[in-house]
Amino acid sequence: MEELIAKKYIKALNAGSDLESMKNITEIFSVLAESFDNAKFMSILDNPHVNANDKSDILLSAVKSASSDKINNLIKLLVEKKRINIIPAIAKELKKDIANATKTYDGVIFSDSDIETSVLTELSSGLSKKFNSTITLAFVKNDFNGIKVEVAGLGIEINLSKDRIDSQIIEHIIKAI
């Protein structure tokens, strides 16, 4: 639900903005969204005894260095409509929009065995060519028995499980007998 509301605010931000200014706005909202992970910060914003003007002043001081009337007005509007909590969703949706506009995506490779950086680079370039985009992959070691590639911005998930391959080979041998 927050994503739908965030998209409406982003649509208003996009009106009359070029790609470079949207990148700057995205960066500002990303940094502001990180503040929402701080428990003390959230306790102040969620406190019903802190009035809207004080909340607005806190958020505006956080983005003061941007000196952007668009951002200031959006924050004032969010405070007025009591929608401060969608700022992280706005940041997330802005990142998606920028990724789609620039065709630059980040992905993750999960595996239980180490993967060399040359393999990561090869996979990145192969996926980049396949999807006509720039895809950067990062490696995360976990207990997945195989290799799993996820590029969330494109909705790509490639899954090669050793267990599944073994079971398919066994099924194939049984069918052949």
Question: Hey, what are 124's tokens?
Answer: 């990145």
Specify the pLDDT at position 167: 77
Which of the following CATH numbers is that of domain 2-99: 1.10.520, 1.10.150, 2.40.160, 2.20.25? 1.10.520
Query: Do 2-99 and 103-176 have matching folds?
Result: no
Confidence (pLDDT) at 12: 84
The structural domains of the chain, with segments of one domain joined by +, span 2-99, 103-176
pTM of the model: 0.75
Contact assessment for residue 22 and residue 99, using Cβ atoms and an 8 Å cutoff? no
Nearest alpha carbon to residue 87 among 48, 60, 112, 108: 60
Q: Is the pLDDT of residue 155 over 80?
A: yes
Q: Answer whether 138's CB lies under 8 Å from 149's CB.
A: no
Nearest to 32 by CA among 101, 95, 104: 95
pLDDT 10s digits, 84-140? 999 999 999 999 989 888 999 999 999 888 888 888 899 899 999 999 999 999 999
pLDDT digits (tens, 9 = 90+) for 12-51: 888 877 888 888 889 999 999 998 898 898 888 888 898 8
Sheet architecture: strand order including 104-111: 134-141, 104-111, 146-151, 156-161
Domain 103-176 CATH assignment equals 1.10.3470: no
Q: Which residue has the higher pLDDT, 165 or 121?
A: 121
